[in-house]
Amino acid sequence: MELTIDRLTKHYKNKIAVDHISLTLHEGVYGLLGANGAGKTTLMRMLCGVLKPTNGEVKLDGIHASEEAYRDLLGYLPQDFGYYPEFTAFNFLMYMASLKGLTKMQAKAKVQELLEIVSLKEVAKKRIKTFSGGMKQRLGIAQALLNNPKLLILDEPTAGLDPKERVRFRNLISQLGANRIILLSTHIVSDIENIAATILVMKNGECIHNGSLEEVIKVIHNMVFECTVDQEMAERLMTSYPIINIRKDSTGTFIRCVADTKPCEQAVSVPATLEDLYLYYFSEEGTR
């Protein structure tokens, strides 16, 4: 299974939302990381055929994104997926299955299977309006899987979920990534860190990094520092560098920051994380 993205571009009147992105994806979970406005949703909407690119093309095993056969292989969970609050989970999935061309017999078997997979079997007959945010997101995943897609695209699937629901959701995605291509967009760094084998970092419409966690964070190797300083030095550092963490205690102000060189005498170099990289590129104080 191979998804080929070739020089994909989207222009609006005075803005380039996606700028000549070329990627080749295979089975596994890919994390698309970037700040709001980086172009993640625009890219995903083009991959789903919802939005027509200005230039470039997308193919899945040679099938163009504009073809019906491509959509048959696609599962999509948008940022705000539509559902009918008065429907039960079972009835909603049966309705969505009919729209995707499944027979009643096929739909019933598939819906029961997916309700089990997303841990909603016990509430299958309850109305969706009674569901928590996490339960709705799991229902969204189920509807995206009805046609057994080879390409699953998820736009901000864990936004607004509590920590317990996010862990459950991440575990589900990890299991699903064994035999399909999953592209997961988010600005929640821990979600990417925990489930994505490959991390794509977008900024200003461009894909600026593509690799494993270890490969991506090499960019800021030996650039992350920690120190405990007085208030005056803390304020100086906060106006000069991307700050990852700040905490006051009885000994002074603890600061973790990203800097090209040692930011102060007390600073000690520490191993970098994906969150450090994110702040390095996307913090207001230290954009790159």
Q: Which CATH architecture has domain 3-217?
A: 3-Layer(aba) Sandwich (3.40)
Alpha helices in 161-288 (DSSP H): 163-176, 189-195, 213-217, 231-240, 274-282
pLDDT, tens digit, for every residue of 54-84?
Answer: 999 999 999 999 999 999 999 999 888 888 9
- Looking at the predicted structure, is the pLDDT value of residue 284 above 70? no
118-165 pLDDT, tens per residue? 889 999 999 999 998 888 988 998 999 999 999 999 988 887 778 888
| Token pair listed for 107 | 């739909």
Estimate the share of the chain in helix, then strand, then coil, as percent rounded to the nearest 5: 35, 30, 35
**Pick the residue with more confidence: 11 or 158?**
11
Supply the pLDDT for residue 255: 95
pLDDT at 287: 42
Share of the chain above pLDDT 90, in %: 69
